[in-house]
A and B are shown apart, each in its own frame.
Chain A
Amino acid sequence: MTSTGGTPAGAPAGPVAAPRLYRSSDGRVLAGVARGLSDHLGVDVLLVRLAFILLAAAGGAGVVMYGLFWVFAPQNPFEADQPRDRERDLTMLLALASLTIGGLILLHALGLGFGPGLAVPLAVVGIGVAILWRQADDDARQRWRVATGAHRLTGAARVGVGAALVIVGAGAILVGPAKMGGTTGGLVAALVVVAGLALVSSPWWLQMARELSAERNARIREQERAEVAAHVHDSVLHTLTLIQRHVDDPREVTRLARSQERELRGWLYRGRADPDQDLAAALERAAAEVEDAHGIAIEVVVVGDCPMDEHLAALRDAAREALVNAAKYAGGAPVSLYAEVEPDQVTAFVRDRGPGFDPDDVPEDRLGLRQSVRGRMSRNGGTAVVRSAPGDGTEVQLEMPRDTSRARSAT
């Protein structure tokens, strides 16, 4: 609908069915109030403007009226071309300033005298409130109204009390200085005004705070989702692609799947110990390395934990040797590593369910293993025992006294 479209379709013509009062941006000078009024009343826009100017000259009433119309008459929603924001802000500021000044002139003319010391802060407060209201887009204002009316009774009570405070405070500011004298009375009155405004506007502030925190939560969730997505993409999807490429190589597929499983578990259950500091983590890492290198699955169970030292590093290396050997000779049968930390020693068992061998008829390479594992252990004060029988798998038992017991037996 434009300024020329007088009557809505279907509505009977006449003053009763006059078009709703909108501010019109089509052919406006300031905010389009005069234009809108002329559409609404069916009067020439020039006459309306003349009336406003005459009234403005009469103690500022015209300016106040213009301002009121501007605040309460909505923008014509059927007009497509909205004024650009910057332009609107500027004209709005101008209009607000004239509204305020006009209001002050009117009050002065009515004999409610007040000094410039109060007029200026009052004007600032008025402009601030008006700007806040005008700048909010229609959606926000709608939400504010909803928030205000959420609990109708208490909401109405709060608005009433707040408005009363504002009025009382404003009255005190206007008449106060004469009666109470001094700046203290004015200060108290100003505080009352501020309290009233805060009370009236409290649901809006609450609403804004709530929106802010909701937005922050959404952002955090979004970040977490992005992190998970990135991790799944970088590791799991990548591994799945590799697995599809290696379908003909069961060992490689096992290795890939197993290594991805370890990585994913480590990521899910964070806060794992440092493999350079703690025995359990060190053994788990050693087993993981053997799994990766030989494409087998090793079940690791560690009971207790203790800090690493050079002797336990030897135990770890010996255990790794035994695991490598099991991986080579067990023929894909399950391999397990069990370690237990006791007060005076650490024991580790590497067991496979492979073909096994007769300890009295030891092949050369097995002898080599036994010597390397045994040598490593004995050089560090520990022992190694290999048990095996044909058809019964192999078990390597490693024992290493702990530092504390060595220190105790030395004294």
Chain B
Amino acid sequence: MTDDTPPATPVGAPPRRVRVVLVDDHRMFRSGVRAELGDFVDAVEIVGEAEDVPQAVTVITATRPDVVLLDVHLPGGGGRAVLQEVVTELPDVKFLALSVSDAPEDVISVVRGGARGYVTKSITGPELAAAVRRVADGDAVFSPRLAGFVLDAFAATTDLATVDEDLDRLSQREREVLRLIARGYTYKEVGKALFISVKTVETHVSAVLRKLQLSNRHELTRWASARRLV
């Protein structure tokens, strides 16, 4: 993806279509996503669907998609269980969490389990197609809500002696980027506002994702379970 590619339009994306597996226990929702992504047949191809954890593992292993759209709440252990089964064996498969929940503990748990991003089910078709492309390219997708969660979690005061500077703190720049995303800015708008390229924005967001996944800060888990935002 080049710096100039607007995130909401897959036009100009590489010719190879992103192969997607859709995991959600609601058939109506799956067909809805299918219909919305149907407008982007040049960019996204749905190669499989699954409605529970065992089926998801089977389908993902068989089809080896680029991206898995993963519901957080699934019969048989939730999206987290799918990640645990597949992530280490198929490192090339990227996961994008998709949920109505918005509950911080759900969001933080799938992202820490290996998902490359989190979007709510109210996302529009073009936004979803762009998010799928972005995840396929190895970048992270932060919805405003996820950005808010991360800012909140990392803002919690902590014992300075136990802080790993590399992992447990957000840099000033990362904080600025997340703030703009939380305000509803697209990556392109963030870049414009901070006078940096979209690629740099993506680098910052990926760094934040890495911190979110690797930091041992117990505050992250505690914060997520303590805060029951909706």
Contacts and interface: CB of A to CB of B under 8 A. Distances in A.
Contact of A301 (B155, B182, B228): B182
Interface in B192-230: 228-230
A95 B152 CA distance: 79
Q: Which of A271, A299, A303 lies at the interface centre, i.e. has the most chain B CB atoms within 10 A of its CB?
A: A303
Contacts of A302: 148, 229
A351 B230 contact: no
B72 to A, nearest CB: 14
Interface string B85-106: 0000000000000000011000
B184 A336 contact: yes
A262 B151 CA distance: 23
Contacts of A340: 151, 179, 182
Given A299-B145, A301-B145, A340-B179, A269 B228 contact: yes
Given A266-B230, A336-B144, A297 B184 contact: no
Interface string B177-193: 00100111000000000
Q: Which of A265, A269, A334, A338 lies at the interface centre, i.e. has the most chain B CB atoms within 10 A of its CB?
A: A338
A272 B155 contact: no
Contacts of B179: 338, 340
A133 B97 CA distance: 63
A353 B126 CA distance: 15
A268 B103 CA distance: 10
Interface band, chain B: 10 to 19
Interface residues of A, number: 22
Contacts of A268: 230
Contacts of B228: 269, 271-272
Q: Which of A262, A271, A351 lies at the interface centre, i.e. has the most chain B CB atoms within 10 A of its CB?
A: A351
Interface in A377-393: none
B147 interface: yes
A266 to B, nearest CB: 7
Interface string A228-271: 00000000000000000000000000000000001001101101
Chain A interface SS verdict (over half): mixed
A269 B183 contact: no
A335 to B, nearest CB: 9
Interface in A259-291: 262, 265-266, 268-269, 271-272, 280
A69 interface: no
Contact of A338 (B103, B183, B229, B230): B183
Contacts of A336: 144, 183-184
Contacts of A338: 144, 148, 179, 182-184
A370 B109 CA distance: 42
Nearest to A336: B184
Contact of B148 (A271, A301, A334): A301
A304 B155 contact: yes
Nearest to B144: A301
Interface in B141-195: 144-145, 147-148, 151-152, 155, 179, 182-184
The 5 closest A-B pairs by CB, nearest first: A301-B148, A336-B184, A265-B230, A338-B183, A303-B151
Given A265-B230, A266-B230, A269-B229, 4 more contacts: A299-B144, A303-B151, A338-B182, A340-B179
16 contacts: A265-B102, A268-B230, A269-B229, A269-B230, A280-B229, A301-B144, A303-B148, A303-B152, A303-B155, A304-B155, A336-B183, A338-B179, A338-B182, A338-B183, A351-B183, A353-B184
